[in-house]
Structure 1
Amino acid sequence: TDLYTQEEKEKLAHLIQRNTKEEVCLISAKTGEGIRNLKELLARSIPEGYGNRMITGDLVDTGDLVLLVMPQDIQAPKGRLILPQVQTLRELLDKKCLVMSVTTDQYLSALENLAVPPKLIITDSQVFSYVYENKPKESMLTSFSVLFAAYKGDLLYYIEGAKAIDTLNENSHVLIAECCTHAPLKEDIGRVKIPRMLKKRFGEKLDVSLVSGTDFPDDLTKYDLIIQCGACMFNRKYVMYRIDKARNQYVPMTNYGITIAHLTGILEHVALP
């Protein structure tokens, strides 16, 4: 408004309001007058539910059939489900989806007993390859870890980071970054399975380090790749802090599910929210 007289401001505001049928907010860049009104107007204009990120994004909607493949192995708490499974299941129920949950050994039987193929199959990343090889052609496939890569982090950055896997060699240094802390488990996905997959491809001399909890190095430049867990125990703000830290030091970063999908050659076939 600093460029106009009071009469000009009133005429212009009236003209804009008449032509757009929208409320007009006059502000001054010099004095800040009207800024508070602008903020209040913007706040009132925000659509209901804006900013509420969804785990499954736009992959499924009301009435869609979703099959969850959830191995209940040593990594699953006895008598309980792990947090990503619980959160995903709850969201699907809120979306009024039809949900069927099975363990890996009942996967084929479940498909045989369904009248129609599921719209979406969500699997644990460690059985990605098996589920993909046996899925119906019509069904989309993703994993809990891939969904959480988008929900908690930057999915496109993770996918771009996965390309760095192909540039690794036996002299490379990889950092596995877990967010939760737990006692080492047999066949642990971050401590055992992913390092084994990497070393099988690039050699046993490949250096794989691991940090857990809030332990995350300030200097990341010695690493050729960072592989982040699904971060179900941390909020998105903290995960984005890690991502920005890696990005600012030009170190590629990806996550568990994206890594496994890339290593098994099915990433391009995975449904992304």
Structure 2
Amino acid sequence: MSGKAPRGVRLVIALAGRRNAGKSSLINALTGQETAIVSDTPGTTTDPVAKHYELLPLGPVTFYDTAGLDDEGELGALRVKATRKVLYRCDVAVIVLGEEGFTDYEKDLLRTIREMDIPHVVAWNKADLRPEEHTPEGLDAPFLHVSAATGRGVDRLKRRLIDSVPPEYRQERLILGDLIREGDHVVCVVPIDLAAPKGRLILPQVQVLREILDCDALGTVVKEREIEAALLGMRTPPALVVTDSQVVMSVAGDVPDDIPLTTFSTLFARYKGDLDSLVAGASAVDTLKDGDTVLIGEACSHHDVADDIGRVKIPRWMAQYTGRDLNFEVYAGHDFPEDLERFALVVHCGACMLNRTEMLRRIAECKRRGVPITNYGVAISKLQGVLQRVLRPFGVMPNTITTPTETPHTISASKLDNIS
């Protein structure tokens, strides 16, 4: 059951430490399964290994077994770098100490984890090999003794992990459940384009539909050409219309202004990130200059299609909107550039394949480096002059948002027809 949960809604717990500290054995003990390969040979785990598990009462989680921090050589350095990438996207970190205790490797790791503000637990493994319990020399953090071999302390470690998770995992986050009530009607506008998976809807659309049902509301799914007829056929106006961002301009023209309207990606900007920050970041579009480089951040790797939203449409619309000669670079999957400062703006996808912690960490990293960040849906709504409207259901109206009449480069409907 836990294996079917979307990756982006899982709690990520990473185990990190030196080689032969017993990280793989500890994951096997935590999950009660022979998940990770265990060997007395240091460096058995080379690349991060994921194990899905149901950690009640939290629900679905992913444990990551990582390479040792003291891995050697050029290849070892790459493995250590991969370990740190896993830490970047984890929600809770477990620092696993081996027989040697708290060495310089763990000190550096603990310092990094604290700088990243990651909740963490220190587990001193192989307690069955020590004559008595004592505090590792130099350790200035709470810890507990465990033995993956005998199971000693493993249940206590599970409870500590549960107590360490971020508050948002203890509370149910809503995508649109706070915007609708039981019995409300919600219309979802879902265009079918080349990027849509054959025979399926994309994950944000599925999650929105599921939440509509969970709220005991009524959901209607139409394509963009059917929205006007669907509205005319309803006895009462819908409580909300949610549209794909790519057709938001045409849908906004067909949906009366008194009917609340937003986009799937804007819902996910709030669900997976920080809507206020992403809206504020969109204002940087108005200050772009010739030669500026814009980062297109994709949370998942996929085949590049002819009219790809992130790689083709957004760059085309942004160049049209600004009238500037801009450069665009795409980073896909969990890759995020270390030299963020060279980008004038980051435009991130809806993050349906990331958990909220990783998305918030990306937003925080951009803020720390002084780089504005927005997401696909917010950016598209701004470029098409409807940002005020799609934000209205949330009550978000910061001073950084400009109206179409205040923005000289807003794309006109005729020009949009020519480039979409």
Long gaps (5+) in structure 1? 1-42, 44-48
The aligned counterpart of 2:266 is 146
Distance 1:272 1:148 in 2: 14
The aligned counterpart of 1:177 is 297
For the Cα contact (< 8 Å) 1:119–1:138, is it kept in 2? Answer: no
Pair 1:57–1:168, CA change in 2 (3 A): farther
Out of 202-211 and 91-100, give the one that drifted further. Answer: 202-211
For the Cα contact (< 8 Å) 2:265–2:377, is it kept in 1? Answer: yes
For the Cα contact (< 8 Å) 1:175–1:209, is it kept in 2? Answer: yes
For the Cα contact (< 8 Å) 2:348–2:374, is it kept in 1? Answer: yes
The aligned counterpart of 2:352 is 232
* Aligned alpha-carbon RMSD (Å): 1.5
Partner amino acid, structure 2, of 1:67 = V
Distance 1:130 1:50 in 2: 39
Out of 104-113 and 141-150, give the one that drifted further. Answer: 104-113
Distance 2:349 2:250 in 1: 21
Match runs of 1:190-229 below 5 Å: 190-203=310-323, 205-229=325-349
Distance 1:81 1:252 in 2: 31
For the Cα contact (< 8 Å) 1:117–1:138, is it kept in 2? Answer: no
Distance 2:316 2:345 in 1: 16
Match runs of 1:59-208 below 5 Å: 59-203=179-323, 205-208=325-328
- In the alignment, structure 1 residue 55 sits paired with structure 2 residue 187: no
Q: TM-score, normalised by structure 1?
A: 0.80
Distance 2:206 2:357 in 1: 21
Distance 2:223 2:377 in 1: 18
Give secondary structure in 1 for the equivalent of 2:340. coil
- In the alignment, structure 1 residue 258 sits paired with structure 2 residue 375: no
For the Cα contact (< 8 Å) 2:243–2:251, is it kept in 1? Answer: yes
Partner amino acid, structure 2, of 1:189 = I
Runs of 4+ in 1 over 2 A off after TM superposition: 201-205
Q: TM-score, normalised by structure 2?
A: 0.52
In the TM superposition, what is the alpha-carbon distance from 1:57 to its structure 2 partner? 4.6
In the TM superposition, what is the alpha-carbon distance from 1:244 to its structure 2 partner? 1.1
Deviations 1:229-252 (A, max 9, x none): 001111101111111110110100
Partner amino acid, structure 2, of 1:175 = L
Distance 1:255 1:164 in 2: 12
Distance 2:179 2:170 in 1: 18
For the Cα contact (< 8 Å) 2:286–2:322, is it kept in 1? Answer: no
Pair 1:151–1:98, CA change in 2 (3 A): same
Identity, % of aligned pairs?
A: 46
Distance 2:239 2:322 in 1: 36
Partner amino acid, structure 1, of 2:319 = K
For the Cα contact (< 8 Å) 1:178–1:210, is it kept in 2? Answer: yes
Partner amino acid, structure 2, of 1:133 = G
For the Cα contact (< 8 Å) 2:285–2:322, is it kept in 1? Answer: no
In the TM superposition, what is the alpha-carbon distance from 1:204 to its structure 2 partner? 6.2
In the TM superposition, what is the alpha-carbon distance from 1:134 to its structure 2 partner? 1.1
